[in-house]
Amino acid sequence: MKQKLVAGNWKMNGSLAANEALVQGIAQGLNAALAGQQAQVAVCVPAAYLSQVQQLTQGSAIELGAQDLSSYEQGAYTGEISAAMLQDFAVRFAIVGHSERRQYHAESDELVAVKAQRALSAGITPIVCVGETLAEREAGQTEAVVKRQLAAVIHTNGHCISEIVVAYEPVWAIGTGLTATPEQAQAVHAVLRAQLQAATSHADRVQILYGGSMNAANAAQLLSQPDIDGGLIGGAALKPADFLTIIAAAAR
């Protein structure tokens, strides 16, 4: 049975002092949260803090993640960060296609697919985000939207698709305090699992995370669903006690 993955997305939050306190708080409570069980734990941090957090997590079970990467390998792309640069910091995961990138930076399905490809080629596991808006859900388009978004990544990455992580993040539930019910989340995860099964014989090794306001109070219920393999955690990832509670639920 594959381990569940709990990945914290710090978004544009942090400072040198706050990061140190947060990572130390997580590291100190990690063994107790796992209680002899297994779960993967990662923190996806702003690029400016990769070096600091690499040092802070060294020797711990906390893996390092980035929040984005460039679709280009190198060159005259001011402000961009390449997969090779992330390699220098031993980055294990990179979020691609987060709804905030799709919304605020107009990232297309095709661009997200290329970013996933760049990550994979550098030995970095992309956490590919898919999800629908409230309007799309109310119009009954949830399944069509997430399948379209994932299809682009499958088309571009072919047989490597079993090496990705998928995160279902209903846009209407991100940072709003609203959360899909466990049944609603499971229904979409099952659709994504079936789509992966049609694309690869190794679909069962792909972790599909839930990323819509998972918190300490609802994590256990969400993580008990058969196709929810972990969480992409926003606000709760900035609070050691809450993050550790989610990790404990994932390890059970």
SS3 per residue for 67-99? CCCCCCCCCCCCCCCCHHHHHCCCCCEEEECCH
Of the candidates 144, 142, 127, the residue with the CA atom closest to the CA atom of residue 234: 127
Helices and strands in the chain, H and E counts: 10, 8
Residues 159, 163: Cα–Cα separation, whole Å: 9
What is the residue extent of each domain of the chain?
5-251
pLDDT at residue 2, rounded to an integer: 86
pLDDT band at 239 (very low <50, low <70, confident <90, very high): very high
pLDDT at residue 250, rounded to an integer: 97
Which amino acids are annotated catalytic? 98, 169
Asked whether the predicted pLDDT for residue 180 surpasses 90, the reply is no
pLDDT band at 47 (very low <50, low <70, confident <90, very high): very high
The tens digit of pLDDT for each residue in 155-170 reads 999 889 999 999 999 9
The tens digit of pLDDT for each residue in 116-129 reads 999 999 999 999 99
pLDDT at residue 16, rounded to an integer: 98
Q: Average model confidence (pLDDT) for the chain? A: 96
pLDDT band at 179 (very low <50, low <70, confident <90, very high): confident
**DSSP-based three-state secondary structure for 7:** strand
Burial zone of 78 (CB within 10 Å; 0-12 exposed, 13-18 middle, 19+ buried): exposed
pLDDT band at 36 (very low <50, low <70, confident <90, very high): confident
**DSSP-based three-state secondary structure for 59:** coil
Structure tokens at 180: 């899909």
pLDDT band at 35 (very low <50, low <70, confident <90, very high): confident
Residues 125, 129: Cα–Cα separation, whole Å: 13
CA dihedral 46, 156, 134, 224 (to 10 degrees): -80
pLDDT at residue 117, rounded to an integer: 98
pLDDT band at 1 (very low <50, low <70, confident <90, very high): low
The tens digit of pLDDT for each residue in 94-119 reads 999 999 999 999 999 999 999 999 99
CA angle 126–131–135, rounded 5-degree value: 160
The tens digit of pLDDT for each residue in 52-79 reads 999 999 999 999 999 999 999 999 999 9
SS3 per residue for 119-154? HHHCCCEEEEEECCCHHHHHCCCHHHHHHHHHHHHH
Q: Which H/E stretch holds residue 62?
A: strand 62-66
Residues 107, 34: Cα–Cα separation, whole Å: 36
pLDDT band at 212 (very low <50, low <70, confident <90, very high): confident
Question: 5-251 has which fold?
Answer: TIM Barrel (3.20.20)
CA angle 226–138–212, rounded 5-degree value: 45
